[in-house]
Amino acid sequence: MSLKTVTAALGALSAALVTTLVVAEPASAQGRWEMLGQRTVGFFVDRDTVSGRGQGRFSVIRICVANNAVQFREVEVVYRNGERQQLPVNAFVRPGQCTPNLELRGEARGIDQVNLVYNSVPNFRGQAVVSVYGLHPTMGPGPGPGSGGDRWVQLGRRMVGFERDRAEISGEGEGRFRAVRLCVARAPVRFRMVEVHFRNGERQELPVDRHIGPGQCTPPLDLSGEARRIDRVVMVYRAVPNYRGEAAVTLYGLQ
């Protein structure tokens, strides 16, 4: 066998191996997908855990498969605050495919871990590669022009309806901030007041009396003193009813 033939054969084999290990990523959605973790699953273990710690806040997860088919039976999400959510997943997922989007309850929040219960399908392809993705929601625009080199961090978001006039977003564990800003999507919101609760128990009331339309943000709201940690932010508002339904409010902090 000639050297040219051997080289071509090795190249084809390498390409085949790479192809079997490629995991299909979720299709784009309103937000940014991030891989929380990846596991190789065999025929002797029927459960595994993927860590989501330190990855951010998520509103949806999705599980993608490569190399071999997997029958998922159950998915359990453990949140950073210790709460758990069982997701009824009974799906046969082939290589190169993903489960449907699995919606997480409540606002986007930190995930501690994702527990998977599954059956791998024995065949000549061997073990399967399972990847868990989380969706960072993009419910409103970022702080926009004029921020310079400053770093704005998304602290959280809330859906705002017409039946309530206040909501709370947690800022715990996200760092130290010297200003906050609120951005709106889907429907306009009339903000009346924002109250920031700091980690040391102090609070600051920010006089915000503004009508913010979809795609717009409040000006930066400066916090008193040096940059410090935020425990939570309470918003007092009035959503403006229209055919678009609820508004989405995203809270940003300036580090």
3-class SS letters over 45-87: CCEEEEECCCCCEECEEEEEEECCCEEEEEEEEEECCCCEEEE
Alpha-carbon torsion angle 72, 103, 105, 88, nearest 10: -30
* pLDDT the model gives residue 24: 55
Measured from the Cβ of residue 109, the count of other Cβ atoms closer than 10 Å reads 18
Q: Measured between alpha carbons, how far is 217 from 250 in angstroms, rounded to an integer?
A: 9
Residues of the chain above pLDDT 90, percent: 9
Measured distance CA(169)–CA(232) in Å, rounded: 6
Q: Is the dihedral of CA 100, 105, 108, 114 positive or negative?
A: negative
At residue 150, the pLDDT reads 60
Asked which of 23-27, 48-52, 112-116, 152-156 is least confident by mean pLDDT, the reply is 23-27
How high is the mean pLDDT of the chain?
76
Per the CB < 8 A criterion, the answer to whether 112 and 79 are in contact is: yes
Q: What is the pLDDT of residue 84?
A: 92
What is 106-136 written as a DSSP string? SS-EEEEEEEEEEEE--STT--EEEEEEEEE
What CA–CA distance (Å, rounded) separates 143 from 238? 21
Q: Where are the domains of the chain?
A: 22-137, 152-254
Q: Which CATH superfamily is domain 152-254 in?
A: C-terminal carbohydrate-binding module (2.60.120.1380)
Look up residue 218 and give its two tokens: 């409040």
pLDDT at 223 over 90: yes
* pLDDT tens, residue by residue, 141-166: 455 444 445 677 778 777 777 666 78
**If 0-12 CB within 10 Å is exposed, 13-18 middle and 19+ buried, where does residue 86 land?**
exposed
**pLDDT tens-digit series, residues 182-210:** 888 777 888 888 999 998 899 999 988 88
Q: Do domains 22-137 and 152-254 have the same CATH topology?
A: yes
66 pLDDT more than 80:
yes
Predicted TM-score (pTM) above 0.75: no
- Helix, strand, or coil (residue 17): helix
pLDDT tens per residue across span 2-34: 544 444 443 444 333 333 344 455 554 455 778
CATH 3.40.630.10 fits 22-137, yes or no: no
Count of C-beta atoms within a 10 Å radius of residue 81: 10
Average pLDDT of span 240-249 = 67
